Chains A and B, each alone.
Chain A
């Protein structure tokens, strides 16, 4: 089965699913960071030239140097792998095994932007991240990092409340999950579709139409322990 996450097993035997991010959101995140930096430069230019006159340019040069090399690194290491742009797009940089990204890895991946940016505007990085199954650019491959979709606070839907009903048949784990998912999501489907889905498991509900939907809700409530 094709999926978009990277499967990592920790030494404790916990399977992690790192939802790798491809070039589309990453490019947008980069553009946002770029805009943020340009805004900072412009503000600094105004302030520094007003305060120090000609010497302000020298300071601005120094600040530009620091910003261009450390903006990404500092944010990535100190803000759980998120620059402001990545934060806006819900992305995070993590090590390839899901651990938080360290100074060394972050510096490596940002140093190699020089290579990825060749010949202009990250063309090399774009092509590599299109080819790589985890959407990594060269810097990520060398530093052993990965950009992932961070888990967002999602709107959770409460499962429909109904009188609990024990299923007549022992359900496997993923089937239980599907029944609960049905109870959570079916209220947002059309009535016809609800019935159609519920009738698929007629051997379980032993009824049809709206009654089947209600019985499935009941089973889900039983599975959720609402007794």
Chain B
């Protein structure tokens, strides 16, 4: 048994998940399982039923087919027990194996073990481990005792699944019978059932065989999953696999660098094993290289932590949202007198709505003859005539019916009309088949390039080359950096324009503040409103900036 060749992931699982693993295994090797299954079971089914028909003992054929289930189980077990080690057997190989494999266990499993509720777990124990009498008994007890109840439950559920599929197949077939023929069909079926007619029994045998063929492989698979899980649990298979691979890796690594290993072993008592190590073996081939003293690595970590810790941020923090709200808006600061208030617009809209030509109102006076008005008042309640109400009731009912159908029509209409709107809800639910992102980007953000030495020239060159946005971006970045340096503050990574502006209040001279605000405003107009400054204005701004912030002219 080569555990390294295992094709399933082993880890301690709950029993249900172990059964899940076994069923996944059956699903994965469906072709290799069901082809030999059909090749073996169909001839037996046909033979038994033909014999039963001839002898008028079809119920016995059905019973025998059911009784032989453990014998058929070996097909599934043979395939998955080999497939799990990556050697999926071919159809022919599997079929041939059925005549000899595990011959010793045919008798127990077809007689006194046939009705045992833990068959699905014991079958792999006996057939795969192949111990002698008492040894096998011990193995069964060791593996089966804690999960015996689970096995029984598994058998019970699978039995119910089979019954369900039998009834489901019969009723499903009946769904295709036209409604008018249904009563006759039911009568005929009931008669055949009570009379135990030949064709009905043969049909039943066939349907039971179909149900068994669907469920039984999964049943065996689930039992095999439990078996694997038990062995993982009590023998540490998952640990063994990793240990074997580790040993192989070390052996491969040891050959070229044996000498180095011998030399370094003495000093390496404190080798840092928990350093994030590259997953490739090549890095491991030279253990000497990877042996910086543990103290050093600890220092490194500390250094890193310090680097990440925000040292001092005198500007508004991102976290304290409540405080931030109380601070005045910076909009006016940025846009100055150019900021247009939309109050005028709202006033104009309200005014326009008041205009009588937009929403006209009209008063209408009508003359009515006097006697008509008096006549209405005079109408007295007449004695009630119930016969009238019958007509009324009928009318009302017809009206209500009409109303109801109208509502239904309306509803259908609305549903059809809004098809595009709600169909997406279902589609949206079904769209989970989309590929998950192939790989997660783990690379760190690349550091922004350092600013060029001669800033104004670089910015103007970009601008003249038609790369206006790049020029503006460089200008803004340089302005922020110069400002931060001048004001002697550290900006948080990803500081917003407003934060930069607020930080710029620390600048010494009013001119510097003003020109920085202008740079920010120009950048914001370009970035968010896509309105680029005039070439001349921009040139002027760059000139002012380089003058104020002392960029190399």
Chain A residues close to B by CB (< 8 Å): 1-4, 7-9, 13, 15, 19-25, 27-28, 89-90, 95-97, 104-105, 108, 118-124, 126-127, 130-131, 133, 135, 141-145, 149, 152, 166-178, 181-182, 185-186, 188-189, 193, 197, 200-204, 222-223
Chain B residues close to A by CB (< 8 Å): 7-9, 12, 14, 16-17, 19-21, 23-25, 27-28, 153-154, 157-158, 160-161, 164-165, 167-169, 171-172, 174-175, 214, 218, 222, 234-236, 238-240, 242-244, 246-247, 250-251, 254, 265, 268-275, 277, 279, 284, 287, 290, 294, 425-426, 428-432, 436-437, 440-442
- Take A144-B429, A168-B268 as given contacts and tell me if A193 and B235 are in contact as well, using a CB distance cutoff of 8 Å: yes
A126 near B246 with CB under 8 A, answer no
Among B242, B290, B432, contact of A170 (Cβ-Cβ < 8 Å): B290
Among B218, B239, B242, contact of A130 (Cβ-Cβ < 8 Å): B218
> Which residues of A have CB within 8 Å of B430?
141-142, 144
A197 near B24 with CB under 8 A, answer no
Among B174, B250, B271, B436, contact of A166 (Cβ-Cβ < 8 Å): B271
> Which residues of A have CB within 8 Å of B25?
2
Q: Which residue of B lies closest to A124 (CB)?
A: B168
B165 near A123 with CB under 8 A, answer yes
Distance of A160 Cα from B74 Cα, bound (Å): 41
Most B Cβ at <10 Å: residue of A96, A97, A168, A170: A170
> Which residues of B have CB within 8 Å of A200?
240, 243-244, 246-247
> Which residues of A have CB within 8 Å of B274?
176, 223
Distance of A20 Cα from B27 Cα, bound (Å): 14
A108 near B429 with CB under 8 A, answer yes
Q: Which residue of A lies closest to B246 (CB)?
A: A175
Most B Cβ at <10 Å: residue of A7, A121, A169: A169
**Can you list 20 A-B pairs, Cβ within 8 angstroms, ordered by A?**
A1-B9, A3-B24, A9-B436, A13-B440, A13-B441, A23-B161, A28-B153, A108-B429, A118-B175, A120-B164, A123-B164, A123-B165, A133-B27, A142-B426, A166-B269, A168-B265, A175-B242, A178-B242, A200-B243, A204-B246
> Which residues of B have CB within 8 Å of A149?
14, 16-17, 20
Q: How far is the CB of A163 from chain B (nearest CB, A)?
A: 13
Q: Which residue of B lies closest to A12 (CB)?
A: B440
Distance of A108 Cα from B432 Cα, bound (Å): 15
Distance of A154 Cα from B235 Cα, bound (Å): 19
A121 near B17 with CB under 8 A, answer no
Among B246, B254, B268, contact of A201 (Cβ-Cβ < 8 Å): B246
Q: List 14 extra interface pairs beyond A121-B164, A130-B23, CB under 8 A.
A: A2-B24, A2-B28, A7-B436, A28-B157, A130-B214, A143-B429, A169-B287, A176-B274, A177-B242, A178-B238, A178-B239, A178-B246, A189-B235, A200-B240
Distance of A172 Cα from B249 Cα, bound (Å): 11
> Which residues of A have CB within 8 Å of B28?
2
B161 near A22 with CB under 8 A, answer no
Distance of A200 Cα from B27 Cα, bound (Å): 34
- Take A1-B8, A21-B16 as given contacts and tell me if A97 and B24 are in contact as well, using a CB distance cutoff of 8 Å: no
Distance of A202 Cα from B248 Cα, bound (Å): 11
Distance of A90 Cα from B17 Cα, bound (Å): 11
> Which residues of B have CB within 8 Å of A168?
265, 268, 271, 287
> Which residues of B have CB within 8 Å of A122?
164
Among B21, B244, B429, contact of A2 (Cβ-Cβ < 8 Å): B21
A24 near B246 with CB under 8 A, answer no
> Which residues of B have CB within 8 Å of A135?
20
- Take A104-B429, A120-B167, A200-B243 as given contacts and tell me if A1 and B21 are in contact as well, using a CB distance cutoff of 8 Å: no
Q: How far is the CB of B288 from chain A (nearest CB, A)?
A: 11
Distance of A213 Cα from B171 Cα, bound (Å): 62
- Take A21-B20, A22-B23 as given contacts and tell me if A126 and B165 are in contact as well, using a CB distance cutoff of 8 Å: yes
Q: Which residue of A lies closest to B425 (CB)?
A: A104
B426 near A108 with CB under 8 A, answer yes
> Which residues of B have CB within 8 Å of A21?
16, 20
B432 near A144 with CB under 8 A, answer yes
Distance of A9 Cα from B157 Cα, bound (Å): 34
B172 near A1 with CB under 8 A, answer no
Q: How far is the CB of B18 from chain A (nearest CB, A)?
A: 9
> Which residues of A have CB within 8 Å of B218?
130
**CB-based closest 3 A-B pairs:** A123-B168, A96-B432, A144-B429
Among B160, B234, B269, B425, contact of A189 (Cβ-Cβ < 8 Å): B234
> Which residues of B have CB within 8 Å of A222?
273
Among B8, B160, B277, B294, contact of A172 (Cβ-Cβ < 8 Å): B277
Distance of A130 Cα from B168 Cα, bound (Å): 15
Q: How far is the CB of A91 from chain B (nearest CB, A)?
A: 9
Q: How far is the CB of B283 from chain A (nearest CB, A)?
A: 8
Q: Which residue of B lies closest to A189 (CB)?
A: B236
Among A4, A96, A170, A173, contact of B20 (Cβ-Cβ < 8 Å): A4
